[in-house]
């Protein structure tokens, strides 16, 4: 009920808004560009920070699923089923 009132008020403000004829100076564009570049830099920094953890996680998944097949078609490795053949 409360969310409906807020959304109706927001729609009313958008529909009834008049042009403001505001002036955007070059400093505003500079701030927007700087914000975008800062966001890209932060994203790259976070990826570099956690890259080793992500890489270690993927390699641990790969090590768990290592199964090799010999010339006779029998599987051996960490996930291979153990059979007692004599």
Entry pTM: 0.42
Q: Provide the total of helices (H) and of strands (E) in the chain, helices listed first.
A: 2, 2
Per-residue exposure over 44-81, b if at least 16 CB sit within 10 Å of its own CB, e if not: eeeeeeeeeeeeeeeeeeeeeeeeeeeeeeeeeeeeee
In whole angstroms, what is the distance from residue 13 CA to residue 64 CA? 57
Q: What is the pLDDT of residues 35-76, one digit of tens each?
A: 999 999 999 999 888 888 888 888 888 776 555 666 666 666
More confident residue, 71 or 18: 18
């Amino acid at each position: 009920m409360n969310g409906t009132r807020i959304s109706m008020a927001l729609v009313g403000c958008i529909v009834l808004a008049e042009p403001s004829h505001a002036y955007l100076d070059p400093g505003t564009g500079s701030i927007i560009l700087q914000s975008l570049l800062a966001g890209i830099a932060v994203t790259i920094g976070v990826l570099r920070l956690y890259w080793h953890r992500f890489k270690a996680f993927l390699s641990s998944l790969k090590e768990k699923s290592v199964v090799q097949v010999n010339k006779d078609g029998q599987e051996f490795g960490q996930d291979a089923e153990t059979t007692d053949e004599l």
